[in-house]
Structure 1
Amino acid sequence: MAEPKTKPTDASVDAFLDAAQPARRVEEGRRLAQLMREETGEEPVLWGPSIVGFGSFHYVSPSATSRTEGDWPKVGFSPRKGALTLYGLKDLPEGAALLPELGGYTEGAGCVYVKRLDAVDEAVLRQLVRIAARREDDPPRA
């Protein structure tokens, strides 16, 4: 089984957020970190070089051909140049059902992209973060 590449680090979340580009991502990153801290009760941890994560869960992939497992943040984000990338918001059925109420976003395979934090409904975002924070470890597979 391959070792997951994205793991928690001891790197400074503040230093990572301060280096975000363009400049508005610094402020948006700080706002998101505070929002996620408030809603999860967790402190942010830098996962790999670019994901600010809150909490963690152990996952086991459902693939029948290769078993992959590891740890991943329950909820997190990366303040990327083109968009804020949000993780964990649609992983649970309750979150996926609420996601259309978020506002301006697009979706990737496992993430949600937001071009401007002000374009989303903060109350819905907070609810999505609370839902994601309740995620538990995946059950072991035989």
Structure 2
Amino acid sequence: MAKNKTTETENNVDDFISAFVEDETKRKDSYELIKIMQEVTGFEPKMWGPSIIGFGSYHYKYDSGHEGDAPLAAFSPRKAAISLYVYSPSDEKEEKEELLSKLGKHKASKGCLYVKKLADIDVEILKKMISLSIENTKKLYPSN
């Protein structure tokens, strides 16, 4: 079985932001997201892999037998956009769609939101989405 690439590391979050995030707005948004995610999750930021800032963790195991650990909430300040890792199961589709419609300027994929800058979105809606994401993840993987 392949080893997960994205695991918690001992790398320093501030060092990562200083070295990796060149855009001043994205750097400020990264620190604001750290505050937001700390507030919502109650966890300190940790580096996951080389470029993901995660908060808390859970253990997952798929029917295929693949298992591992992942952060409960996370983001990565990538060059093109900030990637927000927000899990949302399909049975919550209406609620997810309603929240996405209120979020503001973003792009979405199955488990990720992409925003250019925090000023483009409603931070209170983001907080609700993070909270629901954690709630749903804990229901799906209750051993945590």
Match of 1:80 in 2: 78
1:65-76 equivalences under 5 Å are 66-76=64-74
Identity of aligned residues (%): 39
Matched residue type, 2:16: F
Opposite residue 15 of structure 2, the aligned amino acid is A
Report the TM-score when normalising by structure 1. 0.85
**1:64-92 C-alpha deviation (Å, 9 max, x unpaired):** xx432111111110011110000025357
Name the structure 2 match of 1:138. 141
| TM value normalised by structure 2 | 0.84
CA distance in 1, matches of 2:47, 2:142: 26
CA contact (8 A) 1:89 1:99 kept: no
Size of the alignment, in residue pairs?
137
Residue aligning to 2:130 = 129
The within-5 A match list for 1:1-142 is: 1-19=1-19, 20-62=21-63, 66-91=64-89, 93=92, 96-97=96-97, 98-134=99-135, 135-136=137-138, 138=141
Please list the CA deviations of residues 23-67 of structure 1 after superposition, one character each: whole Å capped at 9, or x if unmatched: 2211110000011001111101100000000111112235xxx43
Question: Deviation of residue 3 (structure 1)?
Answer: 1.5
- Structure 2 SS opposite 1:49: coil
**Whole-angstrom CA distance in 2 between matches of 1:99 and 1:60:** 28
The gaps in structure 1 that reach 5 residues or longer are none
CA–CA distance in 2 between the matches of 1:91 and 1:48?
24
Write the distance in 2 (CA, Å) between the matches of 1:96 and 1:117: 19
Distance in structure 1 (CA, Å) of the matches to 2:114 and 2:62 = 23
Q: Structure 2: 5+ residue runs without aligned partners?
A: none
Q: Kindly indicate which of the two structures has a greater share of residues assigned to helix.
A: 2
Q: For 1:91 and 1:119, how far apart are their aligned partners in 2?
A: 25
